[in-house]
Amino acid sequence: MMKRLACPFCGPRELEEFTFHKTVAEPGSSAFEAVYERRNRVDSSLEHWQHVAGCRAWLLVHRNPTSGDVLDVKVLG
């Protein structure tokens, strides 16, 4: 179960410090698809999060939504 996220700047922090913003669209999506359509892969989800109650960095988080494991956290951009 996901209880923490490892911020690249601050290290592992409680999940409550972070806010999920949105799921990243599949490559090659149109503007409409990017807003309204989701691929919903059961083993992989690429998301934008922000370390709102911390350093406020925007993060690119790769998770497995079925197991709850965090696969990778990068600084966005």
Partner 1 sequence: MHARGAGNRYSAWSLLRARVAGSGYWQRMWGGAKLEPAYDVVVVGGGGHGLATAYHLARDHGIRHIAVLEKRSIGLGNVGRNTTIVRSNYLLPQNHYFYEDSLRRWETLSRDLNFNVMFSQRGVVDLATSDDEMGTLARRGNAMRLAGIDAELLDAKALERFVPRIDLNVPRRFPIIGGLVQRRGGCVRHDAVAWGYARAAAAHGVDIIEDCEVTGVRSAGGVATGVETNRGFVKADRIVFAVAGHTGAVGDMLGTTLPVETHILQAAVTEPIKPLLDTILIYFYAHAETYILQSDRGGMVMGGALDGFPSYTREGRWSRLEEVVQGAVELLPQVAGLRILRNWAGTNDMTMDGSPIMDRFVFDNVFLNGGWCYGGFKAIPASGAACARFVATGTAPDLVRHFRLSRFADGNLLDERGGGPFPARQ
Q: Which residues lie near partner 1 (CB under 8 A)?
A: 1-3, 15-16, 19-20, 22-23, 26, 32-33, 35-42, 45, 47, 49, 65-68
Rounded to the nearest whole angstrom, what is the least distance from the CB of residue 50 to partner 1 in the complex?
Answer: 12
User: Closer to partner 1 at the Cβ: 8 or 67?
Assistant: 67
User: Closer to partner 1 at the Cβ: 55 or 65?
Assistant: 65
Rounded to the nearest whole angstrom, what is the least distance from the CB of residue 47 to partner 1 in the complex?
Answer: 7
42 Cβ contact partners less than 8 Å away, ≥ 6 residues apart: 65, 66
User: Closer to partner 1 at the Cβ: 10 or 33?
Assistant: 33
| Tally of CA atoms within 13 A in the half-sphere of 11 that contains its CB | 0
C-alpha span between 77 and 60 (Å, rounded): 8
For residue 11, count other CB atoms closer than 10 A to its CB: 10
